[in-house]
Structure 1
Amino acid sequence: MKHLPSVTELLEAGVRFKVNTESQCLLDLRFSGRVLEIPQLKVEDWTEILFRNMVALEQCHYPYQSYITDYVAVLDFLINTGRDVDILVRKKILVNWLGDSDSVANLFNSLWKNVTHSNFSSDYSV
């Protein structure tokens, strides 16, 4: 996976976003018929710490089973700006408890920095 368009770019291309309420699994992203369904994620003060630790665990001990790392990469591609966050909040995909949309965008953009990862799951292939 080299690059995915951002939420804004996908919306402009005619992709619709919908919260996936059928699954209890955060990783259960679905794309069908120009609709991208994403389970709801609450972004809180501890979200960054949780994801950083889970990515570090996968990178060190489970490099070929890196489900959280793949998920973080997809979110990094999808979320580039506060506008991307605002769209996902309006669609109830993100619940922003940080308050500032740009802070949420910066959180996801910083999570992927310094991560070496080349074994993306085919589940996220485009």
Structure 2
Amino acid sequence: MSDTSEVIRRFNDAFLRHEPDQLDELVGEGCVMEAIQPAPDGARYEGRAACLEFWRALAADRTTQFEDEEIAVAGDRATIKWRYTYGTGEADYVRGVNLMRVRDSKVVEALGYSKTPGEVAVPLAADSTSDR
């Protein structure tokens, strides 16, 4: 297993098991993270302390749950497709992807994107054929 694969496995496990302390040794000093909210551009966190604070709070929240759908690793980069459940209703989830980079056995970049709609929904394909 590559170093990147092992770091990403341990990083994801911290969220899956709600163990925020496991993140401490996995986040690099120059880490940059872009969160999915607030839309449309999300929030940007720079530096180990800022990224770790955000992730520790997320991992500690036992009212939510991450589920990995697919993980692909290539060199120092990883792509993680995920599902994040935040309630008990059938539609209380969002799906997304994180683009990760690992350097010296630490996460140094995490760019998150989701399928959360913006204020105005994209027109359906059938609507695009109507007269304008």
TM-score range, shorter chain: under 0.3
The structure having more radius of gyration, on CA atoms, is: 2
TM-score (norm 1): 0.27
TM-score (norm 2): 0.26
The answer to which structure has the higher strand fraction is 2
Whose RCO is larger (CA < 8 A, sep 6+)?
1
The answer to which structure has the higher helix fraction is 1
